[in-house]
Amino acid sequence: MKKTLILSTALISLGFAAHADVTVMSWGGAYGAAQTEAHVKPWSAKTGNAAVMVDSDNPAPAIKAMVEAGNVTVDVASVEYADAIRLCDEGILEPIDASKLPAGADGTPATDDFLPGAITECGVSTDIWSNVFAYDTTKFPEGPKTAADFFDLEKFPGKRGLRKGAKAVLEFALIADGVPVSEVYSVLSTPEGVDRAFAKLDTIKSQVVWWEAGAQPPQLLADGEVAMTTAYNGRIFNAVIEEGKPFQIVWDGQIYENEMYVVPKGAPNKDLAMDFIAYATSTEGLRAQAQNISYGPARKSAMKEELIFKDGKTVMAPHLPTAPENMTNALETSSEFWVDHDAELNERFQAWLSQ
Residues that bind other proteins (CB under 8 A): 1-5, 57-58, 60-61, 64, 86-91, 159, 205, 208-210, 212, 223-225, 336, 339-344, 346-348, 350-355
**Cβ proximity to other proteins, 243 vs 347, nearer residue:** 347
266: left (phi over 0), alpha (psi -120 to 50) or beta: left
- Residue spans of alpha helices (H) in the chain: 2-16, 29-35, 41-47, 59-69, 81-89, 110-113, 147-150, 169-176, 184-188, 191-202, 216-223, 233-241, 270-280, 283-290, 335-354
The least CB distance from residue 180 to other proteins, in Å, is 23
Determine the 3-state secondary structure of 71 from DSSP.
Answer: coil
Contact 226, 209 (CB under 8 A): yes
Measured from the CB atom, the residue of 5 and 50 that comes closer to other proteins is 5
Nearer to other proteins (CB atom), residue 122 or residue 278: 122
H helix and E strand count, the chain = 15, 10
**Distance separating alpha carbons of residues 307 and 183, to the nearest angstrom:** 33
Residue with smaller CB distance to other proteins, 224 or 246? 224
Residue 246: which residues within 8 A CB-CB, separation 6 or more? 136, 137, 138, 240
Residue type (1 letter), 279: Y
Q: Give the shortest CB-139-to-other proteins separation in angstroms.
A: 12
**Number of Cβ within a 10 Å radius of residue 47:** 15
| Cβ nearer to other proteins, comparing 271 with 336 | 336
- 3-state SS assignment for residue 257: strand
* In the complex, least distance from residue 265 CB atom to other proteins, rounded to whole angstroms: 10
Nearer to other proteins, 36 or 71 (CB): 71
> What DSSP element (H or E) covers 130?
strand 123-136
CB of 89 to other proteins, least distance (A): 2
* Smaller CB separation from other proteins, 180 or 224: 224
Q: At closest approach, how far in Å is the CB of 348 from other proteins?
A: 6
Q: Which is nearer to other proteins, 152 or 342 (CB)?
A: 342
Residue 11 C-beta: closest distance to other proteins, Å: 12
Inter-CA distances, 144 with 68, 139, 147, 177, 181, Å: 47, 11, 8, 15, 19
Cβ 61 to other proteins, closest distance in Å?
5
- Kindly state the smallest distance separating residue 52's Cβ from other proteins, in Å: 24
Nearest residue (CB) to other proteins, 224 versus 318: 224
Rounded to whole angstroms, the Cα distance separating 279 from 327 reads 29
CA–CA gap between residue 120 and residue 124 (Å, rounded): 6
Minimum Å gap between C-beta 64 and other proteins is 6
Residues 123/88, Cβ–Cβ less than 8 Å:
yes
